[in-house]
Chains A and B, each alone.
Chain A
Amino acid sequence: ETGVTQTPRHLVMGMTNKKSLKCEQHLGHNAMYWYKQSAKKPLELMFVYSLEERVENNSVPSRFSPECPNSSHLFLHLHTLQPEDSALYLCASTGQKGEKLFFGSGTQLSVL
């Protein structure tokens, strides 16, 4: 266990559905991240939250909407996704930006 928990582990959704991914960290960290991992590609940074404030958005499409209600919880709200959005979505946290990240197990998302 890394101290970062993601739910659900697997998600299948249609292009018109709305769903949310949840991440919770029990490490007392003050920065949390969403990454997208597609086959044969490096990890792609989507969003960064530091002290509950979004500090980086890396040009992610608006069909992905993050929410960070407190330093321990992070959500990724999904709506009208495309099949190419199918990927493993990883949450991570750190106590010091730019250093070791602690990852959750990810949500494997399939968009039909």
Chain B
Amino acid sequence: GESVGLHLPTLSVQEGDNSIINCAYSNSASDYFIWYKQESGKGPQFIIDIRSNMDKRQGQRVTVLLNKTVKHLSLQIAATQPGDSAVYFCAENPPGYSTLTFGKGTMLLVSP
């Protein structure tokens, strides 16, 4: 079936580096995408979202890029900090579904 997946289960970076977390989605009709951050012992927290009529959207230190041609979504975190260490999920909104479909997540580890 169609699903959302992540290329890298774990990403380790040094503090101050830029991080890129990737996500492949398989439903070409999805029109809304979102990134969540989940710290240990907490629920997922919204980071940034993007609609399919956009290729790029920027937030505070984060940028989401959408490539509809290859069905790829990425999250870029600038000047990564230890507090960014968490699991990051992407999710899509396939048509006909009442809620988001989530990927497995990528663990981001930031070393001081």
A43 contacts which of B32, B42, B102 (Cβ < 8 Å)?
B102
Closest residue of B by beta carbon distance from A56: B98
Q: Which residues of the other chain, A, contact B101 by a CB distance below 8 angstroms?
A: 42
Say yes or no: A99 contacts B43, CB within 8 Å. Answer: no
Q: Which residue of B is nearest A104, CB measured? A: B43
Residues of B within 8 A of A97 (CB): 98-99
Q: Does B89 sit at the interface, judged by CB under 8 A?
A: yes
Contact A100 B46 (CB under 8 A): yes
Number of A-B contacts (CB under 8 A): 60
Number of B positions contacting A (CB below 8 A): 23
A100 touches B89 (CB 8 A): no
Smallest CB gap from B42: residue in A:
A105
Task: Report the interface size for chain A: residues with CB under 8 A from the other chain.
Answer: 28
Q: Does A98 contact B (CB under 8 A)?
A: yes
* Residues in chain A near residue B100, CB distance under 8 A: 98-99, 101
How far in angstroms is the closest Cβ of chain A from B28?
Answer: 16
Closest to A103 in B: B43
Contact of B89 among A40, A43, A106 (CB under 8 A): A43
Write the chain B residue with the least CB distance to A90.
Answer: B43
**Is A48 interfacial (CB-CB < 8 Å)?**
yes
Chain A hits for B41, CB < 8 A: 105, 108
Assess A55 versus B102: contact at CB under 8 Å? Given A43-B89, A105-B41. no
- Closest residue of chain A to B101, judged by CB? A42
A65 contacts partner chain B, Cβ-Cβ < 8 Å: no
The yes or no answer to B13 lying at the interface (CB within 8 A) is no
Over the window 76-112 of chain B, the binary record of Cβ atoms lying under 8 Å from chain A Cβ atoms (1 yes, 0 no) is 0000000000000100010001111111110000000
- Which of B34, B89, B99, B103 makes the CB contact (< 8 A) with A33? B99
- B residues sitting closer than 8 Å to A (CB atoms) are 3-4, 32, 34, 36, 41-46, 49, 89, 93, 97-105
